[in-house]
Amino acid sequence: MRNHTELSEFILLGIPQTQGVESVLFVIFLFIYLFTLVGNLLILTAILSSSALHTPMYFFLGLLSGFDIFFPSVTCPKMLLYLSGQNRAISYRGCATQLFFYHFLGSTEGCLYSVMAYDRFVAICHPLRYRLIMRPGVCVGLVLGAWSVGSVHASILTSFTFRLTYCGPNQVDYFFCDIPAVLPLACEDASQAQTVGSTAVGFLALMLWFIVCVSYTHIGIAILKIRSTEGRKKAFSTCSAHLTAILCAYGPVIIIYLQPTPNPLLGAIVQILNNIVSPMLNSLIYSLRNKEVKKSLKKVFHKLVLTPHQ
């Protein structure tokens, strides 16, 4: 960030075309946010408390639940503050920090989806070698790689966005600091930053989507080769929850950053789905469609109910 930047803060104008319904939105988003936090915390608790779930698949699922706690927390608390009538201002550094962590957590989670797809590919296509291939060191290495990619990706986007001079209008026509909303406020040509942002996001999304597609193509072929109906059903059930979560995550990203003529209201709706609703759905998808997680959750609830009476 340049020292001669004159702006000290930005004003978040909020969700476009929602004036007068802030109180209703506050209640809805507060409920979704709390449900997201509780749901993902329960999944984390279930995985940590059950030794049967200490496997690579649930190691990645636990990390995903952690990201689904932090990712909405980047934008939702500030949004809830101004929906409740509090100050809409966000400091210059706060805006840069919000943009960085939004893209860091979002891109790292995208990498984690690809790692989980690879994990399912190994489990179904190479079951006898699964423990050897997905040994603890490899799992940790894949996660560190995902974090590294997310960190580099977010650093590039943030540096190109905030190396520009912001000296004029400071009203961000959005509910959080994101590249398409902040760049129009720059006092100099922002076309290079816009190109870099679109290219970086598009390239990473397509690369990760390619890994997912290749993995699930091999998985689909392997499932079709299974002779028994029960075997095919069991193999598919281990992937359906993950595939559903991927579609919920990648759909909004593609719509937001690759649309030729951005629509503010459509963009806001899609971002809300991506930032707030998708993390909530992940907790529901993995808890309702996974027998092992449901079994562990029942044990957790059983302990919580019995403990106070003992």
Which CATH number covers residue 146? 1.20.1070.10
Output the 3-class SS for the chain. Answer: CCCCCCCCEEEECCCCCCCCCHHHHHHHHHHHHHHHHHHHHHHHHHHHHCHHHCCHHHHHHHHHHHHHHHHHHHHHHHHHHHHCCCCCEEEHHHHHHHHHHHHHHHHHHHHHHHHHHHHHHHHHHCHHHHHHHCCHHHHHHHHHHHHHHHHHHHHHHHHHHHCCCCCCCCEECCCCCCHHHHHHHCCCCCHHHHHHHHHHHHHHHHHHHHHHHHHHHHHHHHHHHCCCHHHHHHHHHHHHHHHHHHHHHHHHHHHHHHCCCCCHHHHHHHHHHHHHHHHHHHHHHHHHCCHHHHHHHHHHHHHHHHHHHC
What's this model's pTM, rounded to 2 decimal places?
A: 0.87
- Residue 141's pLDDT is what? 95
Q: Which residues of the chain have pLDDT under 70?
A: 1-6, 238, 249-265, 287-290, 304-310
For residue 172, is it within any domain? yes
Give the domain extent around 118.
Answer: 9-309
Q: Is 1 contained in some domain?
A: no
Domain total of the chain: 1
Residue 150 located in a structural domain: yes
At 283 the pLDDT is 75
Within a domain: residue 26? yes
Q: For residue 210, what pLDDT is reported? A: 87
pLDDT at position 289: 62
